C-alpha cells in the first residue's frame, strides 16, 4: 500500500484508525475482561486463555494500524533510493527513542498518576493529533474529541471496597459476602489474600504453612515471607505462633498499605512489612531465619529467579541451623511438572525435599537444612497447635518425598513459564473445572471446634 499510494492522507487515515481504536480500547475492555474473569468455570486456566484472546482482540486493530504506519513514513520521507539507508536509520532511531520513552513514562509516571484508561486515551489523543495534521480541515477536531474522553471516570470491573493502580498492578479489595475481604490483582481471578474479622484461618492454601513450625527441631523465632501480599500468613502466625517475628517482603509498596488498612497486618505486632524484591532482599540482608516461605506469584507464573538452584542456595545460607524453606507451587490434578521441576531443583541445595499435595491446584514444597525422615516429620507434626491440628490427616496421607526428575532449574535456564503454559493448556484441553474443596480449617467447618 505504501508503494501503491504514497499519500500523506492515506497515512493520516491509518493513524486515525489507530487513534480511534486505541481510545475505544479501555471502554470496550469491560465486557472482554468480565468474560476473562469468569473463564472456564472460574478456573485460573480459563482466565489465562480468556485474557490472552481478550488482549488480542482489544489491541489487534491499533497495533496493526500503527505497525502499518512505519512503511508509509519511510516511503514518504524517501527522496531517492540513494538515501534509503539514511532515512530508514533516522526513522528507526526516532522509533526506538519513542519506544523507550513511552515504556518508561507509561510505567513510571502516567499509569501510577492517571491510571491505565487515561494513559491509553491520552496516547490516542496524541496519535489523533498527528493524523489530523496530515488530514487537515475538520479532522483537527478529532484529537479534541478524543482528549474529551479523559474526563470519563474509569469503570469498575466489579464492585470493590477499594481499588487502585500501582506501578506494578491493578489492586482491588472486595467483599467475600460474609463479612470478610479478599485481595484481587489485575484480572481478579485469584484471591491473593483473605481476611475475616473473627478468625485468621481461611480454609485455603495459606493455612498449610501453619504446619511448618512443628516440623522444626525447635520452636522457630523468625519467619521470612517472600510475596507477602496482604499478610494473611503473617497474621495467622501472630495467632498460633506469637513468638515468631515475621518479615513480610512484598515488591509492591502499595500492597503494604493495603495490608495495613484492609487485611489486619497490624493485628500481629511482630510482623514487619518490607517493600522489596524477594531475591535482592535476601542478597542484601545479613539476617538469618528459621523459616522462609515463598508465595510470590504474578498469576499464574512464579518468578523464575525464585525457583532456581542459585536462589535455593542463597536461601539456605540465610537459614538458621534446623531451619526450613517452603514454597507454594501451582499444579493441576493431572500435571505437576512445575512442582516436580522445582522439587528437583530444591534437592540441589538441600539434602531432602518434600511435597505436600493437600490441594488439587496447589502443592507445598518444603525442605529442611538437615535431613529428616518421614517418620520423624510425622512425629513432630503431632505438636501442631489448636485448629492447625485439623490438617494432620491430610499431612499424614499426602506427604511424599521429592525424587529427582529431569534437569534442575538454573538462572541460565528456568522455563517455568513454559511449564506453566503446558500445564494450563492441558487443563483446558481436558475441560477441567476449578472445584477445590476447602481445607478442614475452613471457618465454616471449624465453628465450635476448640
Q: What is the Cα–Cα distance from 444 to 262, expressed in whole angstroms? A: 21
DSSP element (H, E) containing 55: helix 44-77
Average pLDDT over residues 351-360: 96
Centroid of chain to Cα 238 = 26
Residue range 76-135, pLDDT digits in tens: 877 766 777 887 888 889 888 988 998 889 888 888 788 888 899 999 999 999 999 989
Q: For the ranges 275-289, 308-322, 420-434, which has the lowest average pLDDT?
A: 420-434
Residue 121 half-sphere exposure toward CB, CA atoms < 13 A: 21
| Residue in 227, 229, 116 with CA at minimum distance from that of residue 165 | 116
Give the pLDDT band of residue 252 (cuts 50, 70, 90): very high
Q: pTM to 2 decimals?
A: 0.77
Q: What is the Cα–Cα distance from 179 to 184, expressed in whole angstroms? A: 16
Average pLDDT over residues 140-152: 91
Give the pLDDT band of residue 137 (cuts 50, 70, 90): confident
Q: In what order do the strands lie in the sheet with 289-294?
A: 271-275, 245-250, 222-226, 289-294, 319-330, 362-368, 354-356, 399-401
Q: What percent of the chain has pLDDT over 90?
A: 59
3 state DSSP class of 18 = helix
3 state DSSP class of 354 = strand
Max avg pLDDT among 51-65, 148-162, 362-376: 362-376
| Residue in 175, 156, 264, 227 with CA at minimum distance from that of residue 164 | 156
- pLDDT for 40 beyond 50: no
Q: What is the Cα–Cα distance from 158 to 12, expressed in whole angstroms? A: 38
CB crowding 55-82: b at 16 or more within 10 Å, else e: eeebbebbeebbebbeebbbbeebeeee
Q: For the ranges 104-118, 234-248, 329-343, which has the lowest average pLDDT?
A: 104-118
Chain mean pLDDT for the chain: 88
Give the pLDDT band of residue 33 (cuts 50, 70, 90): low
Amino acid at each position: 500500500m505504501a508503494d501503491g499510494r504514497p499519500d500523506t492522507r492515506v497515512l493520516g487515515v491509518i493513524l486515525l484508525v489507530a487513534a480511534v481504536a486505541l481510545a475505544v480500547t479501555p471502554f470496550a475492555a469491560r465486557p472482554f475482561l468480565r468474560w476473562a474473569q469468569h473463564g472456564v468455570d472460574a478456573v485460573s486456566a480459563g482466565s489465562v486463555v480468556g485474557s490472552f484472546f481478550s488482549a488480542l482482540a482489544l489491541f489487534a486493530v491499533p497495533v496493526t494500524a500503527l505497525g502499518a504506519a512505519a512503511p508509509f513514513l519511510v516511503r514518504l520521507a524517501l527522496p531517492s533510493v540513494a538515501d534509503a539507508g539514511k532515512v530508514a536509520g533516522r526513522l528507526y532511531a526516532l522509533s526506538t527513542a519513542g519506544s523507550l520513552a513511552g515504556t518508561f513514562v507509561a510505567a513510571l509516571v502516567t499509569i501510577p498518576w492517571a491510571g491505565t484508561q487515561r494513559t491509553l486515551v491520552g496516547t490516542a489523543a496524541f496519535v489523533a493529533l498527528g493524523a489530523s495534521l496530515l488530514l487537515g480541515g475538520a479532522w483537527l477536531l478529532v484529537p479534541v474529541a478524543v482528549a474529551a474522553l479523559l474526563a470519563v471516570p474509569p469503570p469498575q470491573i466489579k464492585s470493590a471496597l477499594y481499588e487502585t493502580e500501582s506501578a506494578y498492578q491493578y489492586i482491588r479489595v472486595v467483599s467475600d459476602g460474609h463479612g470478610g475481604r479478599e485481595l484481587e490483582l489485575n484480572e481478579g481471578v485469584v484471591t491473593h489474600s483473605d481476611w475475616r474479622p473473627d478468625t485468621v484461618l481461611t480454609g485455603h492454601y495459606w493455612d498449610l504453612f501453619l504446619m511448618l513450625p512443628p516440623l522444626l527441631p525447635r520452636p522457630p523465632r523468625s519467619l521470612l515471607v517472600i510475596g507477602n501480599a496482604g499478610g494473611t500468613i503473617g497474621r495467622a502466625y501472630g495467632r498460633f505462633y506469637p513468638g515468631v517475628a515475621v518479615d513480610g517482603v512484598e515488591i509492591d509498596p502499595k500492597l503494604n498499605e493495603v495490608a495495613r488498612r484492609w487485611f489486619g497486618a497490624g493485628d500481629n505486632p511482630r510482623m514487619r512489612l518490607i517493600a522489596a524484591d524477594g531475591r535482592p532482599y535476601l542478597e542484601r540482608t545479613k539476617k538469618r531465619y528459621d523459616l522462609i516461605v515463598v508465595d510470590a506469584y504474578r498469576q499464574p507464573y512464579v518468578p523464575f529467579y525464585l525457583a532456581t538452584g542459585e536462589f535455593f542456595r542463597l536461601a539456605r545460607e540465610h537459614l538458621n541451623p534446623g531451619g526450613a524453606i517452603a514454597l507454594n507451587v501451582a499444579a493441576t490434578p493431572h500435571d505437576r511438572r512445575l512442582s516436580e521441576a522445582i522439587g528437583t531443583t530444591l534437592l540441589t541445595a538441600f539434602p531432602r525435599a518434600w511435597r505436600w499435595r493437600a490441594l488439587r491446584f496447589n502443592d507445598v514444597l518444603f525442605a529442611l537444612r538437615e535431613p529428616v525422615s518421614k517418620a520423624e516429620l510425622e512425629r513432630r507434626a503431632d505438636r501442631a497447635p489448636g485448629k492447625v491440628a485439623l490438617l494432620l490427616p491430610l499431612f499424614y496421607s499426602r506427604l511424599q518425598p521429592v525424587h529427582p526428575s529431569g534437569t534442575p532449574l538454573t538462572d541460565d535456564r528456568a522455563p517455568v513459564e513454559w511449564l506453566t503454559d503446558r500445564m494450563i493448556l492441558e487443563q483446558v484441553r481436558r475441560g477441567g473445572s476449578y472445584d477445590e474443596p476447602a481445607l478442614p480449617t475452613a471457618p465454616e467447618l471449624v465453628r465450635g471446634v476448640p
